[in-house]
């Protein structure tokens, strides 16, 4: 990576090394976007590249056992990789509470937030970070996030988690669990897997991560990336967004993007790399990106449903049964995870790690 100019170095030091985050920088009252956050033109989301009339499917899941519902889910996973679900059973008050908890945490003074900054945190199950991999990025992402590892074992460190948001995070995670299970059952049934046994459960959802994402308002969001185009490395991701919008999904191989319209009470579901690999490309892990808002602070709460760290995954035997060639090799999840977090967000390049 080319060396940064002296002003960018100063800002990098304030935001990353001192742990102020982009929240801290915005709190200083900046009125323009610093160089450190300005994307080259070819990386910006231009209005011409947004398809105004398209949207991802919205699926009513009040009856999971309805074959039509199952079909819509599997179809959406194959064609779009993204869909929203409504009537999923996670109470609205639980969704609202976790969004408020995110605002509460990021509303804390620097000294309080900084206790959880990577390196300071009393437990590695909760860490506050900024951008994605700042050391590997010439241009940083306009976001901070508090990340919770949420496997049953990780939850033992709950007493060390920030009191202003920990109950809400756990309640959200707990009530989303049955939705996650249902989605995985339906999606795997679509791959001819009849039952999710304990070993498969560990591979599919052994170590979930919940993030409280915070995208402070930005003087010129068009110049910046809240999150660069990327695909998730999860099996699937359950995302709660607020009513500001700003999440875009890649539409075609051309450079066009579809806005994910905020729907109150809905959850956005996307297929991650792991399910694309396990399904040997029947389901698609689609690129997406986030643009911050000019006047409002945006929050979102993704649950990355990840395999256990030592889980080994590859195309499922049920999928290859009829003699189909595997497109991916078997990979240990912790290796895939490390690879992803060693580079900047870069479209779908993460999947090269597993490709044959």
Indicate the residue whose CB is closest to Ni ion: 232
Cα–Cα distance measured from residue 307 to residue 324, given in angstroms and rounded to the nearest whole number: 24
Q: Determine the length of the chain.
A: 356
Cα–Cα distance measured from residue 182 to residue 301, given in angstroms and rounded to the nearest whole number: 20
Q: What is the SS3 assignment for 19?
A: coil
Beta strands in the chain (DSSP E): 58-60, 82-86, 126-130, 144-149, 209-215, 227-230, 236-241, 247-250, 257-259, 267-271, 288-290, 298-305, 312-313, 331-332
- Chain residues in the site for Ni ion (CB under 5 A): 232
Residue 247 as a binder of ligand OGA (CB under 6 A): the answer is yes
Between residues 232 and 297, which has the closer beta carbon with respect to Ni ion?
232
Taking a C-beta distance cutoff of 8 angstroms, is the pair 89, 181 a contact? Answer: no
Partner interacting with residue 99 (select from Ni ion, ligand OGA, none; CB below 5-8 Å by kind): none
- Angle (CA) 90 96 101, round 5°: 120
Phi, psi dihedral angles at 168 (to 5 degrees): -65, -40
User: Residue 248: beta bridge partners?
Assistant: 259, 289
Minimal distance, residue 28 CB to ligand OGA, in Å: 24
Partner interacting with residue 213 (select from Ni ion, ligand OGA, none; CB below 5-8 Å by kind): ligand OGA
Taking a C-beta distance cutoff of 8 angstroms, is the pair 209, 149 a contact? Answer: yes
Instruction: Give the interface segment with ligand OGA, choosing from 48-56, 196-204, 239-247, 327-335 (CB under 6 A).
Output: 239-247
Nearest CA to 259 out of 82, 49, 55 is that of: 55
Residue 287 as a binder of ligand OGA (CB under 6 A): the answer is no
Between residues 232 and 242, which has the closer beta carbon with respect to Ni ion?
232
- Sole binder of ligand OGA in the list 137, 141, 168, 232 (CB under 6 A): 232
Residue 221 CB neighbour total at 10 angstroms: 22
User: Residue 215: beta bridge partners?
Assistant: 298
Residue 242 as a binder of ligand OGA (CB under 6 A): the answer is no
Residue 154 as a binder of ligand OGA (CB under 6 A): the answer is no
Residue 279 as a binder of ligand OGA (CB under 6 A): the answer is no
Residue 288 as a binder of ligand OGA (CB under 6 A): the answer is yes
**Alpha carbon separation from 196 to 24, 67, 185, 259, 337 (Å, rounded):** 45, 19, 7, 33, 23
Sign of CA dihedral 31, 221, 229, 100: positive
Minimal distance, residue 114 CB to ligand OGA, in Å: 22
Partner interacting with residue 193 (select from Ni ion, ligand OGA, none; CB below 5-8 Å by kind): none
Interhelix angle 166-189/67-79, rounded to 10 degrees, is 100
Between residues 150 and 227, which has the closer beta carbon with respect to ligand OGA?
227
Minimal distance, residue 129 CB to ligand OGA, in Å: 11
- Angle (CA) 177 348 139, round 5°: 100
Indicate the residue whose CB is closest to ligand OGA: 300
Residue 241 as a binder of ligand OGA (CB under 6 A): the answer is yes
Taking a C-beta distance cutoff of 8 angstroms, is the pair 106, 298 a contact? Answer: no
Partner interacting with residue 23 (select from ligand OGA, Ni ion, none; CB below 5-8 Å by kind): none
Between residues 88 and 143, which has the closer beta carbon with respect to ligand OGA?
143
Contact code string over 302-341 relative to ligand OGA, x by CB under 6 A: x---------------------------------------
Partner interacting with residue 154 (select from ligand OGA, Ni ion, none; CB below 5-8 Å by kind): none
Residue 227 as a binder of ligand OGA (CB under 6 A): the answer is yes
How many residues bind ligand OGA, per CB under 6 A? 10
Q: What is the binding site for ligand OGA (CB under 6 A)?
A: 213, 227, 232, 239, 241, 247, 288, 290, 300, 302
């Amino acid at each position: 990576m080319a060396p940064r100019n002296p002003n960018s170095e100063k800002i990098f030091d304030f935001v990353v090394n001192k742990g102020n985050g982009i929240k801290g920088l915005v709190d200083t009252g900046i009125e323009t976007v610093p160089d450190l956050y300005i994307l080259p033109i070819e990386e910006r989301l231009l209005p011409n590249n947004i398809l105004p009339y398209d949207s991802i499917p919205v699926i009513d899941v009040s009856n999971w056992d309805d074959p039509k519902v199952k079909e819509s889910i599997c179809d959406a996973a194959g064609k779009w990789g993204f869909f929203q679900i409504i009537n999923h059973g996670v109470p609205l008050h639980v969704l609202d509470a976790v969004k408020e908890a995110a605002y509460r945490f990021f509303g804390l003074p620097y000294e309080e937030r900084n206790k959880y900054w990577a390196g300071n945190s009393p437990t590695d199950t909760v860490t506050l970070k900024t951008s994605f991999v700042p050391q590997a990025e010439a241009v940083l992402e306009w976001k901070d996030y508090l990340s919770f590892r949420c496997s049953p074992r990780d939850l033992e460190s709950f007493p060390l988690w920030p009191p202003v948001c920990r109950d809400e995070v756990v309640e959200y995670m707990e009530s989303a669990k049955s939705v996650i299970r249902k989605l995985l059952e339906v999606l795997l049934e679509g791959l001819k897997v009849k039952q999710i046994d304990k070993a498969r459960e560990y591979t599919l959802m052994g170590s979930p991560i919940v993030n409280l994402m915070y995208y402070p308002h930005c003087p010129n969001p068009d110049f910046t990336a809240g999150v660069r185009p990327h695909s998730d490395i999860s099996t699937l991701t359950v995302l709660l967004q607020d009513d500001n919008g700003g999440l875009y999904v890649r539409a075609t191989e051309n450079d066009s993007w579809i806005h994910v319209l905020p729907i109150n009470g809905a959850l956005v579901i996307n297929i991650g790399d792991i399910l694309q690999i396990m399904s040997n490309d029947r389901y698609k892990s689609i690129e997406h990106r986030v643009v911050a808002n000019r006047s409002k602070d945006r929050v979102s709460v993704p649950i990355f449903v990840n395999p256990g760290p030592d889980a080994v995954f590859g195309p499922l035997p049920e999928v290859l049964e009829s003699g189909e060639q595997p497109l991916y090799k078997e990979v240990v999840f912790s290796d895939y995870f490390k690879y992803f977090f060693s580079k900047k967000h870069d479209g779908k390049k993460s999947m090269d790690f597993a490709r044959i």
